[in-house]
Each structure stands twice: as C-alpha cells, then as structure tokens.
Amino acid sequence: MGRKYFGTDGIRGQVGKGNITPDFVLRLGWAVGRILGGGKRDSKVLIGKDTRISGYMFESALEAGLVAAGVSTRLLGPMPTPGIAYLTRTLHAQGGIVISASHNPHQDNGIKFFSSDGDKLPDDVELAIEAELDKPMTTVGSVDLGKADRVADAAGRYIEFCKSTIPASMSFAGMRIVVDCANGATYHIAPSVLEELGATVYPIGVSPDGININHEVGSTCPKTLQQEVLDRGADLGIALDGDGDRLIMVDGNGELVDGDRILYILAMSRLAAGQMRGNVVGTLMTNLGLEHALGAHDIGLSRTAVGDRYIMEKLKAEDWILGGEPSGHIICRDRTTTGDGMVSALQVLAEVYKSGKSLAELHADMRLYPQELINIRLDRAASEVMEHPSMRDAVSQAETELNGGGRVLLRPSGTEPLIRVMVEGREGRQVSLLAEQLADVVRGLV
C-alpha cells in the first residue's frame, strides 16, 4: 500500500511547508498517541530533538497532540537519534519520537519514530498512523489527559550506554582525538564520552545556535575536521552528523575514512575475535572495493536499497550483525538496535587499542574504487527522468564503456528532490567523465 505522509525514514521537509507545519505535527502527535498509546492510561512516549531552532515549535505541537490523545510524554531535550532509541527501550516507553532532519540544513526538519524495542516502526504501524491522521482530531476527557515531564538525566544515561559497548578495561589515555559534533545533538555528549574514557579531546562543532547545525561542519562537510586533525597533530578525527546517527572518520594523515572503510575495520575486528556472523550488509552505493576486500577474507557482502531501514531489515532477517552505508550509517547489531555514530566510533577506537595499529593502518588493506556521485535537483517526478528513453540509452552506453569493470546507478533521493548519479570503476578519469555525461543528460531533462 502506498504511503501518504511517511517517507523512507519518517516525515521530512522544509519548515512551514507541506507537512512540516505546527498544525500537521499537532495532529501527527495525536495520531501517534492513538496508535502507540492504544488507549492505555499509563502509556508514555518520549520526545527528543536535535538543535535546530524549529525543534522547540514541533516539540510543543507533538506534546499537545499526544496529551490530547491521553498519552503522557517524557521530554528528552537535545539528544542523538540513537540515544532516543536506547532510552525508549530502557524507559519502557510505548514509542520514541525524534524531531530532526539529520544531515539536512536548519531550514528542514522532520519527525522520526521508534517502537518500544528501539527499532524503526514497522510498515503496518506507519500505515495505521496515516489512517488515523485522516480522521477528525478529538480530545479525551480531562481526567484521561496525558501528562508531560522532562527526563533530567537523559544525556548521562546515554553516555553510560555508549561506554558500555566496549570492555570496561579499555582506556584511550594517550589518544589525541578531534571530534566534530556538527553543532548538533551530540554536542554535549560525544566529547564527554571520549574524555571519560581517557582520551585527549579537541571538540569542534559544539556551539549550536539553532541555525548552524551541519553548516560547514560534521560528517557531510569533513574538510574542517581534516584540517583540525593535521593542525593538532591528532591521532584521528571523528565526525558525526546533526542527529548523531552517521559517522565519518579521519586518520592521522588527514585522509577520510568513510562508512565502507569503517565497515571493513569492524568486520576484520569481529573476525579476529571470532565474533563475525554472516555477511556484511551494504547498499547499492557500497563501493566495490569493500566487496572485494571482504571477499579476500571469505566474508560476503549483501546489498539492499539505499536506507538504513533496509539494511536493518536484512540484518534481522538473516540474524547478521554488521551493515552500513558509505555516508556513515553504521549498524553494529551486536551492540545496539539502530545506526549509532558514537557507538560505531567506539568500536573502531577499541580496535585501535587492541591492535596497537593506527587508524590508517587498519584500513590500508582496502582499496576503494574511484566513485563519482553527482546530485541534480529536480522540478519534476524522478520517474519521468529515469524512465526517459534518452536516459536509458545514456546509462546503457556508460555501462558498455565500463565493460564489466564498474557500475552505474541512478536513484532518487529519499529525503530531498534530487536524482543521484553514481558511476564507479577502476579508472578515475573514465569514471568522472561518464558521471558528468550522465549528469548532463539528467540536467537536460529537468
């Protein structure tokens, strides 16, 4: 069944437009309360947010809608998305709500949801919420209204959880780490986690003002981190995104360590410890270099559609433990229930500690194929472009030129009005040329 409101990861858009308005979010809170609360008097739903200024407005709207449906709310304030998943589970809430547009700029916002066990909501629950949204909003009687309070120690609880995902005997004393929090939800958490584990920490992107989230900092703009690592002579750098579910790292040489390389390091770590189970799960965007590097150690790579929810579905179905995307969504299912940038970073740091190797040495055995990704903004349906005869012909010609030594992928973004053109192959110049040729065809059609 088609979805009316939900995308691949909740509901997202520009603030004040479409469904990202106070009146819609009020009704959304009410609908969520009706479905997740189930009419139970003791039901509760957690609400957390990142640092963008519109979060205050939507937090209040969600709270009012939930209370009107008879569901109590517990407000977490600024918290990373994975932290909200963790607290939803451990505080025995019926659900968790995240107000965040993740890596997007401040003018966007969105609403994401977790079930009582800290997982993304299943499709049938999202469809039930959509059906409820189309009904007239009502308010329960005064005696049945929900209540609202704040969880004062939310950050501390999550900090302790992060530290618990590595052995208590580990100390990062002597490590010099730059951490970039993207002026987002981890600004008051990530530096504390690393400092409490003994590292010398140089934080950047920790001064949120409501509109600077993800602006020239964080996992989507790692140049600032790369320079800071070199200037500080640090051992490595950690870049998170605005809501803390993505991780990109930088080694001591200033070289980027993307999600594919992080997955390779984690797979080798689990393999050495006898803890690897099944394949690693990637997506259509996962670099061929990871597939080949894993294959050299008899570990398979399974691909899904782009999106961490599809990776998690595959991991659960097969009972495997590791998956992720080049963009830095890393799922360590043997440690937590969702993609978690801070937890994933700690797993890499633990391998640095155990192996005595630098981050650069840990990914040295993996060669990434040249890959070019170009985003083109749309003013029409993506399907009209992708299915156009001239587009199909251009893709076919590019694949012929790659001659089996690479891949071509066109796909619509799940969160923005974009088409993403990706070309991957053995020779960088050819890859760049083919990607630009395909992008020109797309531009001509839009």
Residues identified as active-site: 102
In terms of Cβ atoms closer than 10 Å to its own Cβ (0-12, 13-18, 19+), residue 153 is exposed
- Alpha-carbon gap, residue 6 to 111, rounded angstroms: 9
Sequence-separated (6 or more) residues with CB below 8 Å from residue 6: 126, 129, 130
Helix (H, G, I), strand (E, B) or coil at 77: strand
> Which among 114, 70, 112, 49 is positioned nearest to 88, based on CA atoms?
114
**What are the tokens at 270?**
């689990």
Q: What is the DSSP string of 204-244?
A: ES----SS-TTSS-STT-THHHHHHHHHHT-SEEEEE-TTS
- Alpha-carbon gap, residue 16 to 117, rounded angstroms: 32
> Which among 104, 115, 88 is positioned nearest to 51, based on CA atoms?
104
Q: How many helices (H) and strands (E) does the chain have?
A: 15, 18
Length of the chain: 446
Contacts 24+ apart (CB under 8 A), 9-12: 9/102, 9/110, 9/112, 9/120, 9/307, 9/308, 9/309, 9/414, 9/415, 10/98, 10/110, 10/111, 10/112, 10/113, 11/110, 11/111, 12/101, 12/104, 12/108, 12/109, 12/110, 12/111, 12/415
Are the C-beta atoms of 335 and 379 separated by less than 8 Å?
no
> Which among 258, 234, 237, 228 is positioned nearest to 246, based on CA atoms?
258
Q: Taking CA 373 as the corner, what is the angle to CA 369 and CA 379, rounded to the nearest 5 degrees?
A: 160
Residue 257: Cβ within 10 Å count: 26
Which amino acid does the sequence have at 191? P
Largest pairwise CA distance in the chain: 70
106 phi/psi in degrees, rounded to 5: -65, -25
239 phi/psi in degrees, rounded to 5: -120, 125
Helix (H, G, I), strand (E, B) or coil at 102: coil
